[in-house]
Chains A and B, each alone.
Chain A
Amino acid sequence: MNLLSMHGISKSFRGLKAVSEISFDVPESGIVGLIGPNGAGKTTIFNMIAGVYAPDSGEIIFNQNRIQGLRPDQVCAAGIGRTFQIVKPFAGLSVLDNVIVGGLQRERSVAAARRLSLAILRNLNLEAKALHPASSLTLPDRKRLEVARALATRPRLLLLDEVMAGLRPTECDLLVEVFRDINRREGLTILLIEHVMRAVMALARQIVVLHHGEVIARGAPGQVVRDPAVLECYLGEETEV
């Protein structure tokens, strides 16, 4: 069963093709990595799933419903949570209040949303900073706050946009463990954009490789990193994998 299916999605900005004829699936309870060089169209795809803008053509099916053209809040209500690559904390609010805003999506009362939010912050090792203003957080912590807020909306599908960037390897491994754990316990489906290959290889069961707005390879991580087309366009220049 696929929770999310992209069918022939295209999007141009002022005549410039950002994404063309993309198709891929994200199975229920799966973890799929979306990789590719800068400008490959990864964030554009996220924004189309999340309702920031509609695709020019193609279909986005989530949980057997077409969701293209919905507003971001409707997409969230449908069960998709997202993080922003360029973090957008509610800087004037406390860390906890940031997460409560997300928690109110499914919880009826502020008290219930607060309980949920505290549990999520504990899970992400942010509990000690719950009452700090969000503006005081370091960049890695802000990325974690993005994750906490998105999780608080109780999504079925979580879109992670480069949340590992800037983390130390040990922190990165901890966060990977958090996602694995939620995926295992609650069956949360995850689609992640990530440049930190250490995290992608550890998390994703399937990888989709984008280049110039097109899918050039897909498959299991071990298989994809040996794909000649991938090596040429993307991994060929960097040998850190």
Chain B
Amino acid sequence: MKRRVAALAVLAVLLLLLPGFAGPYALSVATLILYFAYTGQAWNVMMGFAGQLSLGHSLYVGVGAYAAGALFFHYGIGPWAGLWVAILLCVLLGVAIGFLAFRFGISGVYFALLTIAFAEFTRIGFDHFNWIGGPGGMFLRVAQRDAWDLANFRGPPLMYYYAMLALTAGAFALCFFLLKSRPGYYWQAIRENEEAAQALGINTFRWKMLAVAISAALTAVSGVFFAFYYNNLFPEQIFHISRSIEIILGPVIGGVGTLFGPILGAALLTLLSDGITEAVAALGWEIPGIKQVFYGLVLLLVIMFLPHGIWPPLARRLGLHKR
């Protein structure tokens, strides 16, 4: 326990001081890692804790991004107000999907298919939704990039880095707290054996809905960040299924259901992806798709040899596992 706290403190200090010795490129990579760590953590609440596989989390990123983005674009409403609209919309969507699935006993891969379906038809719907620009996309004004304008969430890359760091830390703390209290116990019971969970007095419908709602709300925040960080939104990109896959790869590689898995997985995958790009460029292998081949190969090896992810065995090796 002590070692875990100490390791966490060291990591926190390192991340806080990182901008001091990282260049602009490294800082953007670090921000991306934190973005995936945070979003992976959000997905993990649903799948890792409660055992409900979502393959359509791009839905919440996209709706969150478009909600806050459109309010800013059309009415000049800042992200701090837009955030709540984004969260509300995503929770409603999550609850609607959850209700359909859990009320009618859709589970496992069929539930996953339902989540994909919602993300896909939202993507197609947004392509024909001219108010937010349709397939041509929506572009947020960038007035300035130098001073920290927290009210409108405008500023230098450093601000986005710290915002993402705060979000990741917050999500980590929230998940830690959830896992240690009643929801965590109930979700894990449902994940392990739903029938037994029910026999022990757990209203499985209600607790699964709660997991979906929390996961959707957290992911909505990712979307708002995305909108104000990248300043351009296209339905074809943000709702695409490859985005959903990208979100879940971190926790899957790091360790589904663990607190550190999503963070570790996001770091490894982002660095790997960048590393392969640079290695391929350095070697002069200008073959289309070669990056994806290497990336896929590494994923394949991890899943073959470490089916529970990298974190659980690594934690044991480092003496950081639960005893």
- The interface of chain A, by Cβ under 8 A from chain B, is 50, 52, 71-73, 76-77, 82, 84, 88-93, 97, 100-102, 104-105, 110, 131, 149-150, 152-153
Within 8 A of A (CB), among B191-237: 191-193, 195-204
State whether the Cβ of B102 lies closer than 8 Å to any Cβ in chain A.
no
Residues from chain B with a CB closer than 8 A to the CB of A152 are 200
**Nearest A residue (CB) for B200:** A102
The one of A77, A84, A92, A97 in contact with B196, judged by C-beta atoms closer than 8 angstroms, is: A84
In the complex the two chains form, is B199's CB within 8 Å of A84's CB?
A: yes
Within 8 A of A (CB), among B305-323: 323
Residues from chain B with a CB closer than 8 A to the CB of A89 are 192-193, 196
Residues from chain B with a CB closer than 8 A to the CB of A73 are 198-204
Jot down 21 A-B pairs with beta carbons below 8 A, ordered by A.
A50-B199, A72-B199, A73-B199, A73-B204, A76-B198, A76-B200, A84-B196, A88-B193, A88-B195, A89-B196, A90-B188, A90-B189, A90-B197, A91-B192, A101-B186, A102-B200, A110-B185, A149-B200, A150-B199, A150-B200, A152-B200
State whether the Cβ of B180 lies closer than 8 Å to any Cβ in chain A.
yes
Known: A89-B193, A90-B188, A93-B188. A101 touches B180 (CB 8 A): no
State whether the Cβ of B144 lies closer than 8 Å to any Cβ in chain A.
no
A121 to chain B, nearest CB (A): 15
Residues from chain B with a CB closer than 8 A to the CB of A102 are 200-201
Residues from chain B with a CB closer than 8 A to the CB of A82 are 199
**Nearest A residue (CB) for B185:** A101
A82 to chain B, nearest CB (A): 5
In the complex the two chains form, is A104's CB within 8 Å of B199's CB?
A: no
Q: Once bound together, how far apart are the Cα atoms of A32 and B192, in whole Å?
A: 32
Q: Once bound together, how far apart are the Cα atoms of A8 and B250, in whole Å?
A: 56
Q: Once bound together, how far apart are the Cα atoms of A71 and B193, in whole Å?
A: 16
Residues from chain A with a CB closer than 8 A to the CB of B180 are 110
Q: Once bound together, how far apart are the Cα atoms of A42 and B189, in whole Å?
A: 27
Residues from chain B with a CB closer than 8 A to the CB of A88 are 193, 195-196
Q: A101-B189, A105-B201, A152-B200 are in contact. List 4 more A-B contacts (CB 8 A).
A: A82-B199, A93-B192, A101-B197, A153-B200
Within 8 A of A (CB), among B266-299: none
State whether the Cβ of B182 lies closer than 8 Å to any Cβ in chain A.
yes
Residues from chain A with a CB closer than 8 A to the CB of B189 are 90, 93, 101
In the complex the two chains form, is B193's CB within 8 Å of A90's CB?
A: yes
Q: Once bound together, how far apart are the Cα atoms of A143 and B211, in whole Å?
A: 30
In the complex the two chains form, is B199's CB within 8 Å of A90's CB?
A: no
The one of B181, B182, B201 in contact with A153, judged by C-beta atoms closer than 8 angstroms, is: B201
In the complex the two chains form, is A100's CB within 8 Å of B185's CB?
A: yes
The 10 closest A-B pairs by CB, nearest first: A76-B201, A90-B192, A88-B196, A105-B201, A72-B198, A101-B189, A88-B193, A102-B200, A73-B203, A73-B201
A120 to chain B, nearest CB (A): 13
Residues from chain A with a CB closer than 8 A to the CB of B182 are 104, 110
B256 to chain A, nearest CB (A): 11
Residues from chain A with a CB closer than 8 A to the CB of B185 are 97, 100-101, 104, 110
Q: Once bound together, how far apart are the Cα atoms of A89 and B196, in whole Å?
A: 8
**Nearest A residue (CB) for B189:** A101
The one of A72, A92, A110 in contact with B192, judged by C-beta atoms closer than 8 angstroms, is: A92
Q: Once bound together, how far apart are the Cα atoms of A153 and B185, in whole Å?
A: 14
In the complex the two chains form, is B193's CB within 8 Å of A104's CB?
A: no
B47 to chain A, nearest CB (A): 13
**Nearest A residue (CB) for B188:** A93
**Nearest A residue (CB) for B204:** A73
B244 to chain A, nearest CB (A): 25
Known: A88-B193, A104-B182. A77 touches B201 (CB 8 A): yes
**Nearest B residue (CB) for A107:** B182
Residues from chain B with a CB closer than 8 A to the CB of A92 are 188, 191-192, 257
**Nearest A residue (CB) for B308:** A92
Q: Once bound together, how far apart are the Cα atoms of A155 and B18, in whole Å?
A: 55
Known: A89-B193, A110-B181. A71 touches B198 (CB 8 A): yes
Q: Once bound together, how far apart are the Cα atoms of A104 and B189, in whole Å?
A: 12
Q: Once bound together, how far apart are the Cα atoms of A52 and B198, in whole Å?
A: 9
**Nearest B residue (CB) for A99:** B200
Known: A90-B188, A100-B185, A110-B182. A76 touches B199 (CB 8 A): yes
Within 8 A of A (CB), among B89-121: none
Q: Once bound together, how far apart are the Cα atoms of A149 and B185, in whole Å?
A: 13
Residues from chain A with a CB closer than 8 A to the CB of B200 are 73, 76, 101-102, 105, 149-150, 152-153
Q: Once bound together, how far apart are the Cα atoms of A52 and B189, in whole Å?
A: 18
Residues from chain B with a CB closer than 8 A to the CB of A97 are 185, 188
